[in-house]
Amino acid sequence: MPLSKGVSQPKSDKGRRTRARFIEAGKAVFAREGFRKARIVDIAAEANAAYGAFYHYFDSKESLFREIAEETEVTLLSMDHVPHNQAESHDPYERIRESNRSYLSAYRRNAGILKVIEEVSHYDDEVRAIRQKRQDEFGARQSASIVRLQRDGRADPTVDARYAAMGLSSMVAAFAAALFRPDTPYDFDKAVDQLTILWANALGIEGPGEERS
C-alpha cells in the first residue's frame, strides 16, 4: 500500500518546531524499531509531545515516514556529488576524495534510517520513487562531472560517462551500506582513501605523484 502524502504545514514558529521534533523523533524510532514495529505513541514520547498532537502535522506514520525518507535522500544528494563549482586548478583526485568523505560522513550520520528506507522501498512504490529520483539525479551529476574531466584530459576518454556514473554511484552506495553495518569494524579515513583509489582508477585519474601516460 502506498504511503500517504497527507501532511499539514504549521504557520507558527512553535508549530514548526513541534513538527520538526516529530520528524527527528520519527527518525530515531524508525531506525530503532523498523517501520512495521514503530508506533505513533512511541514517536510522540520520543518527541516529548502529546499523542494527539501528532495528528496536527501528519495523518499517519506512513506520511511521516515518507517525509523522512525524502528529507534523508535529499541530504545525501546534497553531499554525494563530486564538487564541480570550484576553481579549475583544483585537483580532481582531491575533489573525488572530498566527495567520498562528504558522502560517507552523511551516510554514517543517517545509517540507521537509511537501512529502514531501503527495506520499505522494496514494497512501497512512493518510497521507491523517492530513492530512484535521488539516484537518477546523482547519476546525471556524476556523468556530467566525468564528461568535464574527459574534456580537460584528466579522465580516460574511452570510458562511457553514463555507464561509468551508474556503476560508480552504485559501488559507493553499496560500499557505504556494507561499511556502516553495526557489526563491521572500520577505519573511516582508510575507507575514504580506498574508495577514492577505486573511483580514480576506474576513470583513469592519476593520484598524487602520478602522471598520465
- For 81, other C-beta atoms within 10 Å of its C-beta total 20
Q: Would you tell me how many other CB atoms lie within 10 Å of the CB of residue 158?
A: 7
Measured CA to CA in angstroms, residue 76 lies from 2, 6, 9, 66 at distances of: 23, 24, 24, 16
> Rounded to the nearest 5°, which phi and psi values hold at 20?
-65, -35
Q: Just give the CATH number of 13-63.
A: 1.10.10.60
User: Regarding the domain with residue range 65-203, which homologous superfamily does it belong to in the CATH classification?
Assistant: Tetracycline Repressor, domain 2 (1.10.357.10)
Q: 145: pLDDT confidence band, cut at 50, 70 and 90?
A: very high
Q: What proportion of the chain, given as a percentage, has pLDDT over 70? A: 88
- Residue ranges of the domains in the chain? 13-63, 65-203
Mean pLDDT of 9-33: 91
Q: Which three cell numbers stand for residue 19?
A: 513538527
Say how many C-beta atoms besides its own lie within 10 A of residue 21's C-beta: 18
pLDDT given for residue 79 in this prediction? 55
Domains 13-63 and 65-203 share a fold: no
Average pLDDT over residues 116-142: 92
- pLDDT tens-digit series, residues 175-205: 999 999 988 899 999 999 999 999 999 999 9
